[in-house]
């Protein structure tokens, strides 16, 4: 924040200096008998316009930096949280007890109890089609990670877990899954991991970083067909059966 204030102060000072120089030049030309040409005014205006555009770009970069830092701080505040999906809603429900029972029945966590949960509440607007997810805030990060890495044991139960991402990260995660496929995208500790079309792993935090990942592989750029990561290529020759005449021995 102090760096941002210093940048604003420096840019404001430069702005007023440029304004004073431009105003003094206009007063000098108006008081003298020299006729101010259109070209000289255009040159001064062009210089001033360049300064304004550079200032606005600097402000935009500073605001993006501040926005990213606030998002990171929010994710640090959520480092002990997870979202639990699929628990039916009920009136006057004891969420901590229901969450504890769900974890005890389906996850291999013998020492897990209600004391492991610091708080729990429903997230979002109520809907008649599906239950709202439950925000679970754990007592410490160690317990949270044990629950998180046991999420595969929920398979077939109708319950799922996800990280409690901020809205910008959630939107970036959804967009990444659209571009690269569900199986090639996952989250961990608030970061979004992506397996690109080139097979490389990328870690992003926002849409801007996601835009930097190529959506076409080098083979597609060269004119070859695009294939998903991890899928072995099969040329037409490998799919065609070998003619029997090629295997037949020639007898003399």
Higher pLDDT, 21 or 243: 21
pLDDT in tens, 89-135: 988 899 999 999 999 889 988 788 999 999 999 999 888 889 999 99
Q: How confident is the model at residue 232 (pLDDT cuts 50, 70, 90)?
A: very low
Q: What is the pLDDT of residue 226?
A: 46
* Distance set, CA 60 to CA 8, 33, 65, 132, 218 (Å): 12, 43, 9, 36, 33
Q: Where is 179: in which H helix or E strand?
A: helix 167-180
Q: What is the pLDDT of residue 18?
A: 72
Decide if 233 is inside a domain: no
* Distance set, CA 103 to CA 1, 78, 136, 149 (Å): 41, 20, 11, 12
Q: Clarify whether residues 154 and 85 are in a common domain.
A: yes
Q: Clarify whether residues 149 and 176 are in a common domain.
A: no
In 8-156, the DSSP E strands lie at 81-85, 117-122, 134-138
The span from the CA of 182 to the CA of 249, in Å, is: 51
**What mean pLDDT, rounded, does the chain reach?**
81
The span from the CA of 37 to the CA of 15, in Å, is: 25
Decide if 234 is inside a domain: no
Q: Clarify whether residues 117 and 73 are in a common domain.
A: no
Residue 185 pLDDT > 50 = yes
Q: Clarify whether residues 96 and 154 are in a common domain.
A: yes
For residue 242 the two structure tokens come to: 């070998």
* Distance set, CA 194 to CA 15, 34, 90, 173, 250 (Å): 43, 65, 37, 9, 55
Percent of the chain past pLDDT 90, that is, above it, reads: 51
Residue 200 pLDDT > 80 = yes
Cβ–Cβ under 8 Å, residues 204 and 211: no
Residue 16 pLDDT > 90 = no
> Which residue shows structure tokens 């501040």?
66
Query: Which stretch of 14-23, 70-79, 142-151, 240-249 has the lowest confidence by average pLDDT?
Result: 240-249
> Which residue shows structure tokens 């974890």?
103
Q: What is the pLDDT of residue 68?
A: 93
Q: What is the pLDDT of residue 252?
A: 42
* Distance set, CA 140 to CA 80, 103, 118 (Å): 6, 16, 9
201-204 and 191-195 strand pairing? antiparallel
Cβ–Cβ under 8 Å, residues 196 and 209: no
Higher pLDDT, 74 or 1: 74
Q: Clarify whether residues 210 and 174 are in a common domain.
A: yes
The span from the CA of 146 to the CA of 108, in Å, is: 10
Q: Clarify whether residues 65 and 109 are in a common domain.
A: no
Residue 60 pLDDT > 50 = yes
**Owning domain of residue 50:** 2-77
């Amino acid at each position: 924040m102090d760096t941002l204030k210093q940048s604003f102060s420096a840019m404001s000072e430069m702005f007023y200096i440029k304004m004073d120089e431009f105003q003094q030049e206009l007063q000098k030309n108006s008081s003298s008998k020299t006729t101010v040409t259109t070209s000289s005014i255009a040159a001064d205006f062009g210089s001033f316009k360049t300064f304004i555009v550079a200032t606005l770009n600097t402000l935009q970069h500073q605001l993006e930096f501040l926005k990213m830092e606030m998002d990171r701080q929010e994710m640090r505040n959520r480092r002990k949280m997870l979202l639990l999906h699929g628990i039916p809603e009920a009136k006057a429900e004891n969420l901590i007890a229901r969450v504890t029972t769900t974890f005890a029945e389906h996850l291999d966590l013998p020492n897990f109890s209600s004391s492991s949960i610091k708080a729990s509440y429903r997230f979002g607007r109520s809907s008649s089609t599906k239950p709202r997810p439950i925000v679970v805030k754990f007592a410490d990060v160690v317990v949270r990670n044990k629950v998180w890495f046991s999420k595969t044991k929920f398979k077939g139960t109708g319950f799922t877990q996800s990280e409690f991402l901020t809205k910008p990260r959630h939107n970036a995660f959804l967009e990444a899954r659209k571009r690269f496929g569900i199986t090639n995208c996952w989250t961990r500790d608030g970061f979004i991991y992506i397996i690109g079309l080139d097979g490389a792993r990328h870690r992003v935090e926002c849409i801007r970083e996601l835009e930097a990942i190529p959506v076409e592989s080098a083979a597609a750029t060269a004119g070859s067909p695009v294939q998903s990561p991890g899928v072995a290529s099969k040329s037409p020759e490998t799919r065609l059966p070998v003619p029997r005449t090629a295997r037949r021995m020639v007898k003399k």
